[in-house]
Structures are given as structure tokens and as C-alpha cells.
């Protein structure tokens, strides 16, 4: 197409057309930039910043919705104005569920929960798969309305979309249901993390067997990789439910031998640090460095080696220990084997049995003699502590050294321990 611009009038007309088009484009660009910026939820925008733009662009659903929401958080909020702008947003964008959510907030603030429920019901119809906003808001509203049974499926749907909601939901439903376990089980999805969070919650409510059932419902491999698994077992130990805790811990292991009171007594199995609740706990300190030695053993191929670092007034406390479940009041015999190399010490370390609840010593071996020696048997007997409130008891096996004075000479050299066994005498 060819346009003849030889005549002045034609040039003038073209100039005006181009100028008008540029003006329209400029208005469109400015309008879209203004709306896009002010409606962006990543930007903190107050009511005062939205009033003037909304006056100039009264048909913008996004600005009206944002102004309604901004009005709701002001200290001197005007609920009538908030409702007006929420309804304007719905009028100009009737299929955007977020506008219905905004209206629901206004109506509940006005005390009209029935209208708020209708608005959220419309939002659910428009966005049935929006669990993070619509289903969660609706679940909470129904609970506040006293529609407890109606709220449960909404809670479950919301949590299925974001399991981070579960701890809050469990607390809300637990209190609203007057501590009904079946109710909180109803809102908890079947996926592993949700069930483990449920187990943690039930432990805090002292519902230990229900917690164990939730834990056992999860696939073993999922439990091994879940960050919540150690917290469940630790929670049971802290509550003094040693038997339940050890049972769940054993269920995680590929090798299970519940008859063995001392676990991994020969140090042949690898110790998983996050799941060492009933295995050996080895911690380096400024005085000694415990480690598994793959080249020295009394039997098998491995043993525990403790290398003393030559610091004066050497103290050993919890660097090496294992939690063991025992029967309250029964008598037990502990045996192990020890080897030494160039051990220099004012008084050697001892094998110690202590009460897991009070940390009081129940029995200890004779101090390990200084010098070097081949494998020698260490043995001692003790009475298990009395039962706790749950009728259970546990002890710690450990290697300890307490200096007799505020200063003594450094302890140097190495010790090896192997083949710990514990047997019930009566």
C-alpha cells in the first residue's frame, strides 16, 4: 500500500493519527504499569497509595481487590468501603476466586459468617484445587462457625496441598474435638511426612500407642529418609517410654535382634548418627577421640578405640555411651573386653552403668590399669533402677573418668573395647 503525502493536509492528518495512537498507547502502558505494580503482592502497598489510582481507574478489578484487602489491615479500617471495593472487583472479574476470598474476609469481620461462608463456597467452586488459600480459609471458618464435621474434609484437603499446615490444624482440631484422636487422624493425609508429624503431635499429648501406630503405618524406607523420624523416637525417650521407642527403632533396622540388650556390642555394624538412639554415641572432646577401629578386634573385625589427647586433668563423661532398656529392679551382669597401649594416667577410666533418668552411677568397674596389655575381661553386676511413671527403666553404658582433684597429670595412650554383653541374672 502506498500513501501519497505530497499534500500538506494529508501530512497533517497522518501526524494527528500517529500522535493519537501514541497517546492511546501511552495511556495503556501507564495504566497497565500502575495496575501491575500496585496489584503486585510482593510490593507492600498501603491504603493511601491505592486510593487515588483506584479513583482514576475505578473499573480495575485488581486495584479494587487490592484496596479492599489493604483497607482490612488498617487500624481505622472502614469495612463498608472494603466491602464496596471487594464487590467492585467481583463485578469486573467474576471468575477470579481471589476476589471472593477478599469479600469473605470483609463479611467475617462484619460478623456475618454465613455470608463469608457463601463467598468462600463460591471461591471453592471457581478454584476447587486451590488448597493453600481457599480450602484452608474455609476449614478455619467452618470450625469457628461450630460446623466441626464440615470442617474436617476441608482441613484434610488443605493439608494435602501443604503439609506445613498440619501442626496448626492438629492443635485446632484437637482442642475443638476435646482431644479426639479419631478427629485428628481424619484430617491427616496418608503420606509419610504427615503421618510422622501426627506421631510427634500424639507423643506430646501422651498418646504413645496411637503415635506408634501412626509411625508404623509409614513405609520403612520413607522413615529412614525423613527428618521427622529421629524426633519421634527422641520424643518417646524423653517421655520415658523406652520400650515403645526401642521397638520403633528396631523396626527401622535391616538386622533386628530384640533379644540383644546391648546393641552392636562388637562394633561390627555401622553407626547411623541420626538413628543412634539405642546404638553407641561417640563424641570427640578436648580430652579424647573415640572412633571405630577396623584393624583391631577381640572377636570379629572391629572394636572401639579411645585415643587420649594428653590434656591434663583428663575427664571423660558422655563421649562414649549407649542407652539400654532394662527391667526395673532386676539384677544384670555386664561384660566386655579391653586392651591398652602405652596408657599413662594417674587413674584409668572405668566402665560405668548409670541411671538414664537421674544420671546417678549404679555400678562401675575397677580403673583400667596404666601400661600396655592384651585383651582382658571387665565385668560388673548391678541392680537396674526402679520403674518410672510408665513402669519402665533404662540405663546408660559408658566409659568415664572423673579426676580426683582439680588438677592431675595428663592421660595419654590408647584403649580398645570390644564384645559388650549384658545378661539378666534374676
49 φ/ψ angles, rounded to the nearest 5 degrees: -75, -20
CB 418 within 8 A of CB 280: no
Q: What is the band of 70 on the pLDDT scale with cuts at 50, 70, 90?
A: confident
Taking residues 360-380, report their average pLDDT: 96
142 φ/ψ angles, rounded to the nearest 5 degrees: -60, -40
Taking residues 240-252, report their average pLDDT: 94
Q: Is the pLDDT of residue 212 over 90?
A: yes
Q: Cα 126–32–106 angle (5° rounding)?
A: 45
Q: What is the pLDDT of residues 317-360, one digit of tens each?
A: 999 999 999 999 999 999 999 999 999 999 999 999 999 999 99
364 φ/ψ angles, rounded to the nearest 5 degrees: -150, 155
Q: What is the pLDDT of residue 425?
A: 86
Q: Domain ranges in the chain?
A: 36-127, 273-424
Higher pLDDT, 97 or 73: 97
Q: Is the pLDDT of residue 39 over 60?
A: no
| Residue 311 CB burial class (10 angstroms; 0-12, 13-18, ≥19) | middle
Q: What is the DSSP string of 79-101?
A: HHHHHHHHHHHHHH-TT-HHHHH
Taking residues 188-202, report their average pLDDT: 97
Q: What is the mean pLDDT of the chain?
A: 88
CATH architecture assignment, domain 273-424: Sandwich (2.60)
The residue count of the chain comes to 426
Percent of the chain with pLDDT over 70: 85
Q: What is the pLDDT of residue 34?
A: 45
Q: Is the pLDDT of residue 13 over 70?
A: no
Q: How many CB atoms lie within 10 A of CB 185?
A: 16
Q: What is the band of 27 on the pLDDT scale with cuts at 50, 70, 90?
A: very low
Q: What is the pLDDT of residue 253?
A: 86
CB 320 within 8 A of CB 279: no
Question: Of 90, 40, 95, which Cα lies nearest the Cα of 70?
Answer: 40
Query: From CA 346, how far away is CA 51, in angstroms rounded?
Result: 82
Q: Is the pLDDT of residue 279 over 90?
A: yes
Query: From CA 41, how far away is CA 28, in angstroms rounded?
Result: 21
Percent of the chain with pLDDT over 90: 73
Q: Is the pLDDT of residue 401 over 80?
A: yes
Q: Is the pLDDT of residue 385 over 90?
A: yes
Grouping H, G, I as helix, E, B as strand and the rest as coil, residue 323 is strand
Taking residues 115-133, report their average pLDDT: 92
- Mean pLDDT is lowest, of 35-39, 125-129, 251-255, for 35-39
Taking residues 254-265, report their average pLDDT: 78
Q: What is the CATH number of domain 36-127?
A: 1.25.40.10
Query: From CA 332, how far away is CA 14, in angstroms rounded?
Result: 105
Question: Of 258, 272, 267, which Cα lies nearest the Cα of 299?
Answer: 267
Q: Is the pLDDT of residue 5 over 70?
A: no
Q: Is the pLDDT of residue 63 over 90?
A: no
Which pTM value belongs to this model? 0.81
Q: Is the pLDDT of residue 14 over 80?
A: no
Query: From CA 183, how far away is CA 222, in angstroms rounded?
Result: 25
Taking residues 20-38, report their average pLDDT: 48
Residue 423's DSSP bridge partners are 333
Q: What is the pLDDT of residue 24?
A: 47
Fill in the DSSP letter of residue 274: G
Q: Do domains 36-127 and 273-424 have the same CATH topology?
A: no
Q: What is the pLDDT of residue 7?
A: 56
Q: Is the pLDDT of residue 53 over 60?
A: yes
Q: What is the pLDDT of residues 157-171, one digit of tens each?
A: 999 989 999 999 999
Q: Is the pLDDT of residue 287 over 80?
A: yes
Higher pLDDT, 63 or 271: 271
Q: Is the pLDDT of residue 31 over 50?
A: no
Crossing angle for the helix pair 208-216 and 242-251, to the nearest 10 degrees: 0
Amino acid at each position: 500500500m502506498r500513501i501519497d503525502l505530497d499534500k500538506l493536509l494529508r501530512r497533517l492528518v497522518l501526524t494527528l493519527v500517529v500522535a493519537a495512537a501514541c497517546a492511546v498507547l501511552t495511556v495503556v502502558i501507564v495504566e497497565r504499569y500502575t495496575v501491575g505494580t500496585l496489584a503486585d503482592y510482593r510490593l507492600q502497598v498501603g491504603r493511601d497509595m491505592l486510593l487515588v489510582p483506584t479513583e482514576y481507574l475505578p473499573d480495575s478489578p485488581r486495584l479494587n481487590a487490592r484496596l479492599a484487602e489493604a483497607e482490612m489491615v488498617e487500624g481505622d479500617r472502614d469495612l463498608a468501603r472494603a466491602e464496596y471495593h471487594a464487590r467492585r472487583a467481583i463485578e469486573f472479574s467474576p471468575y477470579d476466586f481471589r476476589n471472593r476470598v477478599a469479600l469473605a474476609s470483609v463479611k467475617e469481620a462484619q460478623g456475618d459468617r454465613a455470608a463469608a461462608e457463601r463467598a468462600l463456597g463460591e471461591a471453592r467452586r471457581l478454584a476447587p484445587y486451590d488448597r493453600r488459600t481457599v480450602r484452608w480459609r474455609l476449614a478455619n471458618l467452618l470450625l469457628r462457625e461450630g460446623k466441626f464435621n464440615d470442617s474436617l474434609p476441608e482441613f484434610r484437603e488443605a493439608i494435602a496441598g501443604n503439609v506445613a499446615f498440619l501442626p496448626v490444624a492438629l492443635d485446632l482440631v484437637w482442642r475443638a474435638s476435646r482431644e479426639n484422636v479419631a478427629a485428628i487422624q481424619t484430617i491427616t493425609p496418608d503420606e509419610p511426612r504427615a503421618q510422622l508429624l501426627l506421631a510427634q503431635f500424639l507423643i506430646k499429648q501422651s498418646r504413645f500407642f496411637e503415635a506408634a501406630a501412626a509411625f508404623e503405618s509409614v513405609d520403612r524406607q520413607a522413615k529412614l529418609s525423613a527428618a521427622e523420624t529421629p524426633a519421634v523416637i527422641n520424643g518417646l525417650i524423653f517421655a520415658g517410654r523406652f520400650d515403645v521407642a526401642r521397638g520403633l527403632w528396631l523396626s527401622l533396622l535391616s538386622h533386628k535382634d530384640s533379644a540383644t540388650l546391648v546393641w552392636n556390642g562388637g562394633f561390627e555394624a555401622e553407626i547411623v548418627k541420626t538413628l543412634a538412639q539405642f546404638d553407641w554415641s561417640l563424641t570427640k572432646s578436648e580430652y579424647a577421640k573415640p572412633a571405630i577401629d577396623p584393624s583391631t578386634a577381640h572377636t570379629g573385625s572391629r572394636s572401639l578405640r579411645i585415643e587420649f589427647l594428653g590434656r591434663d586433668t583428663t575427664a571423660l563423661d558422655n563421649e562414649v555411651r549407649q542407652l539400654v532398656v532394662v527391667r526395673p529392679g532386676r539384677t544384670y551382669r555386664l561384660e566386655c573386653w579391653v586392651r591398652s597401649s602405652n596408657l599413662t594416667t594417674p587413674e584409668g577410666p572405668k566402665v560405668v552403668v548409670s541411671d538414664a533418668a537421674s544420671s546417678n552411677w549404679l555400678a562401675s568397674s575397677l580403673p583400667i590399669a596404666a601400661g600396655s596389655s592384651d585383651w582382658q575381661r571387665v565385668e560388673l553386676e548391678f541392680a537396674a533402677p526402679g520403674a518410672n511413671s510408665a513402669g519402665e527403666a533404662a540405663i546408660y553404658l559408658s566409659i568415664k573418668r572423673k579426676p580426683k582433684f582439680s588438677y592431675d597429670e595428663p592421660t595419654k595412650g590408647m584403649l580398645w573395647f570390644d564384645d559388650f554383653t549384658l545378661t539378666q541374672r534374676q
